[in-house]
Amino acid sequence: MLLPIDTLLTPQEVHYCRQQLAAGPWQDGSLTAGTLAVQVKRNLQLDDHSEQALQLRQLILGKLQSHPLFVSATLPSRYFPPKFNCYQDGGHYGLHVDNAILALGSPEQLRSDVSCTLFLNSPDEYDGGELVIETRYGAQQVKLEAGSLIIYPSTSLHQVLPVTAGQRICSFFWIQSLIRDAHQREMLFELDQSVQALTVALGEGDAEVGRLSQLYHNLLREWAV
């Protein structure tokens, strides 16, 4: 499931992020690439240990944890701390799949179930730079407004096309979900959205709303890992 979430960050929060990133120390993105990815990765990444990275992570994680649509779609169990990248001067990231297991720090590890890209500048600030995600319906190109987020299965092949003018600035991170299977996670999301809509239309006391809510939670209980 590809799901865009509009305006996760307000314009004021985007401006704050841009200020922090402009002052931050950037590194060659190949320093954090795996054996295969290093051959197709050309970008810059903010130093993960910088004060700017620490502050921006707190902001983004706080927004995610309080966003009902994000929580419904991902059912997060664990978060990989957000990272930040910049593509410019032809920078790109060729076709690849994200690592299945990510190190949070010895001995903690995270299984990547859901990948997320948060766009931090407007698409009219750069040419190219589309995030291209391979799906069962074909390749989907994504280029969102500043402050908007795209979520997609970490099992997907994807790439960032070359940025031929300007800069593309994003945050990216991963989620280990309570629901490991992407199809089950998508079905629970659709069911939860229906429950929420019917609750607004019929009220929490409606018998059928209660039955659907019971089904949702029992499926969540059955499938959660």
- Which residues lie below 8 Å from residue 37, measured CB to CB, with a gap of 6+? 93, 96
Q: Which two tokens stand for residue 134?
A: 């391979």
- On whether 49 is known to bind a ligand per the annotation, the reply is no
- On whether 18 is known to bind a ligand per the annotation, the reply is no
- Compute CA 167 distance to the chain's CA centroid, rounded to the nearest angstrom: 20
Q: CA 51, CA 49: separation in Å to the nearest integer?
A: 7
Cis peptide, bond prior to residue 81, ω within 30 of zero:
no
Q: Is the dihedral of CA 62, 150, 180, 79 positive or negative?
A: negative
- On whether 96 is known to bind a ligand per the annotation, the reply is yes
| Counts of helices then strands in the chain (DSSP H, E) | 5, 16
- On whether 92 is known to bind a ligand per the annotation, the reply is no
Could you tell me if 89 and 163 are in contact, meaning their C-beta atoms sit under 8 angstroms apart? yes
Could you tell me if 103 and 109 are in contact, meaning their C-beta atoms sit under 8 angstroms apart? yes
Residues making up the annotated binding site for Fe cation are 96, 98, 158
Residue ranges of the annotated binding site are 96, 98, 158, 168
Question: What are the binding residues for 2-oxoglutarate?
Answer: 168
